[in-house]
Structures are given as structure tokens and as C-alpha cells.
Amino acid sequence: MVRSSASRRSVLKGLAAASGAVALPRFAIAQSKPEVGTVVLAPQFGLAYTPLHVMKAEKLIEKHLAKNGLPNSKVEWQKTTGGAAANEALISGAMHVVSGGVGPLLTVWDKTKGNANVRGIGCFDATALYLCTINPAVNTIRDFTDKDKIALPAVKISIQAVSLQMACEKEFGQGQHTKLDHLTVSMSHPDATAALLSGKSEITAHFSSPPFQYQQIETGKARKVLSNFDVLGGPVTFNSAYTTTKFREENPRSYTALFDALVEAHEFIQKRRDDAVKIYIAEEQSKLSVDFINRMLGPELSHTIVPLNTIKYAEFLHRIGSLRNKPASWKDYYFPDVHGVQGS
């Protein structure tokens, strides 16, 4: 089993302090057992995934595999066609680590409870997601009418869709979470942004993520109606890395290397933000400037390993029947490696 090194504890203390958390213990590890020769991960895109980009660009996983006695192990970044395909590959063992939103994590945790037992490794970020509109008559969600169409990544299941349902229940009362579902349309962020700003589409609102929401507002055509931070009452985790219990138990040194690489990526971002932004731009071939991206980073987009407000999503999804299993706390769907932090 894995023993924590002094350096790892020091890093975790720093990261935890930045997130209002405490240092955490690690599990012990047997050094001699053979492990997978290649660790396979799914790449993801977006500013929230900067820790993943840093891990790849700086070869942090390879670095920590070597430190854990696996210098010949390789790392493969394998593209998938989407979240469902990635989750299937994860459960089958074809892929070892998948990254995604709180919604997909909770869904796969719920579906695999008692078998593959998928759980979170740690988080990438806490990100404010804006619902923006170009309709001058809309100041709150009460003002939407049948003449409006709200674009979001996936109706009913995306974290934006769930946040909108929670906002409806908060505004209209319990049991009214689907009140605006008939106005929602599934659309990619780039397509929705183009449709919204054109003024010639049926799309009058868009629940998105950075950088799209800020680009929309900067045009002067769109404005913010609310954010998931407003709905949840504070910072909210957007994306996490997750894997199966089988991979963690059968490949403890590889798992530890992954966790330590994630910790170091967060430390890199805290200490060398401009370099991290440049890595993001290079990895995604983004046309955004370093200055524009830096303006997005702050209280509404922070990179942290700590789960924040995820339990509120879990309790809501269980109450409306989307999850069969009700977690007692956020620790049910994240591995013990992060249980020492003050998460939620």
C-alpha cells in the first residue's frame, strides 16, 4: 500500500490551505506486484481541464510513475467519441482514467455501485457557469416564455441542465424542477454561442461555461441571468478525474502516480499561472490571449483538487429519481485519498 512522502504531504497542505482544507492521509502500497504497462487516460478540453493539460505537457504522470518504481510504464492519451463511450471504456478496463463533470461522475458512481465501483480521484476546478440571454425582457428565470429557447450541452443530464432544474425548484417550489425543460435545446457551446449572438436564431439564452459566457458578455449583446454559484450558494466543482476501484486496488503505484501528478499540476498552476495558461493555449490551439484567460481566472474559476458543493447535486438528483443510491456524503463517491480535505 502507498505511504505518503513528506513532499507530498507538504504539497497537499499548501493546496488544502488554499482551499480551506486540511492535509490528508494516503493508503499504503505493495511495491512488488506487477501493474499495467500503459496507463490510458481520456483527454478533455476547456479551461477547467488545465490541470490535465499540465499533467500531459509536463509529463507529470511519467515522472511520478518513475518515482513509484515504474520507470518503464507509459502514458497514453486516447480520444473518445463522448462521455458515454469513455465511461464504457473505463468500466471495461480499456481506459483507466476518465474526466468529466459532477453529473457524469455521480451517474457512473450510481450505476457501478456494487460492481465496478467508480469513484472520483480528485477535482480539477470550481467554475461558475453562466446562464446568459440576449432577450431584454428576461431578468430572472421567471421571465422566460415559450418564445425563448435555452441552449445547453445536453438537455436534462448536463450539469447546466441540472443547475437550471435546481434553479427552477428554488424559484417555483419543490416539484417544479422541470418547469423550463421544454425550452431547453441540446447544442455545443460554439454552435450555441454563434446562434445566440447572431440574433437570427430561436436561441435566446445559453447556459454554458468559460470562455464562451465571457465572450458573449464582452460583445455587449448578452448578459448574465444567473450562475450555478447563485443556485448552489457558493463555489461548485465542475469537473473531476475518476476511475474504478479495481484499477486503484490492482495498480496502487500507478494510481498513486496519477494522484500525485494531479496534486503537482495544481501546485504548478498556483505557482506558475502564466505558464499554465500558455500550456492550455498550446494544448487546445486556442486563439484566446493570455490576458483574456487570466481575466477569467479568479473567484469564479479556480483550480482546486477539493470537491465543493457536489453533495447538493447528488441529493437533488436522488430526490428527483435520477440516482438510485443516495450518498451519505461526498466521500461516498470520491476515493479516500481526498477525504481529509474539507469538501462537500
The full set of domains in the chain, from first to last, is 6-127+236-338 (3.40.190.10), 132-232 (3.40.190)
Bridge-based pairing state of the strands 130-133 and 205-207: antiparallel
Q: How many Å separate Cα 298 from the centre of its chain?
A: 16
- Closest C-alpha among 318, 339, 335, 338 to residue 327: 318
Using alpha carbons, list the distances in angstroms from residue 5 to 2, 54, 68, 71, 270: 9, 22, 11, 18, 21
Cell numbers that stand for 18 in this block: 488554499
274 Cβ neighbours under 8 A, 6+ residues apart = 290, 294
SS3 category, 207: strand
Which residues, other chains included, contact 208 with Cβ-Cβ below 8 Å and sequence gap of 6+? 129, 130, 132, 151, 152, 160, 189, 192, 193, 216
* pLDDT given for residue 202 in this prediction: 97
pLDDT for the residue 25 = 40
pTM: 0.88
- pLDDT (tens digit, 0 to 9) for every residue of the chain, 344 residues total? 343 443 444 445 445 444 433 333 455 555 567 899 999 998 888 899 999 999 999 999 999 999 999 999 999 999 876 667 788 889 988 999 999 889 889 999 999 999 999 999 999 999 999 999 999 999 999 999 999 999 999 898 889 999 999 999 999 999 999 999 999 999 999 999 999 999 999 999 999 999 999 999 999 999 999 999 999 999 999 999 999 999 999 999 999 999 999 999 999 999 999 999 999 999 999 999 999 999 889 899 999 999 999 999 999 999 999 999 999 999 999 999 999 999 99
Give the model's pLDDT for residue 27: 52
Which of these, 210, 159, 131, 144, lies nearest to 316 by C-alpha position?
159
* pLDDT score recorded for residue 89: 87
Beta-bridge mates of residue 298: 301
* Whole-number pLDDT of residue 43: 83
Give me the pLDDT at residue 85, please. 79
- Cα 75 from chain centroid (whole Å): 21
